[in-house]
Amino acid sequence: MSRNHWSSSRISLSNTDPIYDSLFISDLHLCEERPQTLALFQQFLDTTARQCRRLYILGDLFEYWVGDDMATVMHRQVASWIHDLTDQGVSVFFMHGNRDFLVGDQFSRLCGWTLLSDPHILRWQGENLLLTHGDQLCIDDVDYMKFRRFSRSRFRISVFLHLPRTFRRWVGKRLRRASMKRNTEIMDVNRDETLKLFGQHHVRWMIHGHTHRPASHEDTVEDMTVTRHVLADWGHSGEVLALGNTGFERIALPAPQKKAPTRRGHHS
């Protein structure tokens, strides 16, 4: 795989914050049919997320996305919650996943977040740290990789977003039904592809989601110990990867004590 395939953007982090510099989450798969996950996300934004300087959402925040112009009341409500967090001084960054890669500038303005390329390089304590959604590492899933190459074409995306809303809504529902079946069939990352990415970008740490296999894995690349942190998917409970002055830690989020909120935000 050529280096251009893994072109990245870069940002530097400060590590002087007394609580958390950065929090990382992915794979919430928010939708109307999962009210407890919606409530959990709102609870997280109102509590834990306010203890950090930066929040990174590494894809699949939503179950599916068929265009910014088709954002529902639920989507706008979520955008309002996120914008409220940015109003509190927390910088929020979003990376596309395989479910929501069509999220665009219009919805991003509602959220107040910054879109990131995949992969994305951070600088931490003099070392590089790489963020990616993770689906590009699952090269053993041949059918998915073919679909990914087909669906990420800028031309095809432009054509799809100009199709009638009724058709796009139908496609979204079809994709959701298919994705529910695939949840138990997601292949893990390919080790060789992962080590190649470590080597290409000379990073010690990698953070990704997609596989729904939360864990931390150590390996060796060119006599250097590297660590890959895999984010958890969310359901009735959730998990956050936190980065602070002492390094990484995982924070468990218990199920919310209240039902999914119905209030509407002011950023709609």
How many domains, in total, are found in the chain?
1
The sign of the torsion formed by the CA atoms of 187, 191, 195, 198 equals: positive
pLDDT in tens, 200-211: 999 999 999 999
CATH number at residue 162: 3.60.21.10
DSSP 35-58: HHHHHHHHHHHHTGGGGEEEEEE-
The answer to the question of residue 168 being in a domain is yes
The answer to the question of residue 265 being in a domain is no
pLDDT less than 50: residues of the chain: 1-18, 262-268
The answer to the question of residue 8 being in a domain is no
The answer to the question of residue 258 being in a domain is no
Give the CA count within 13 Å in the CB-facing half-sphere of 85: 29
Residue corresponding to tokens 């994705």: 179
Q: Would you state the pLDDT for residue 179?
A: 66
CA-closest candidate to residue 240, choices 257, 253, 223? 253
Q: Would you state the pLDDT for residue 184?
A: 54
The answer to the question of residue 44 being in a domain is yes
Q: Would you state the pLDDT for residue 153?
A: 87
Q: What is the mean pLDDT of the chain?
A: 88
Q: Would you state the pLDDT for residue 185?
A: 59
List strand residue ranges (DSSP E) for 146-231, in order.
205-208, 215-221, 224-230
Can you give the residue range of the structural domain that contains 124? 17-253
DSSP lists the bridge partners of residue 197 as none
Q: Would you state the pLDDT for residue 126?
A: 85
The answer to the question of residue 1 being in a domain is no
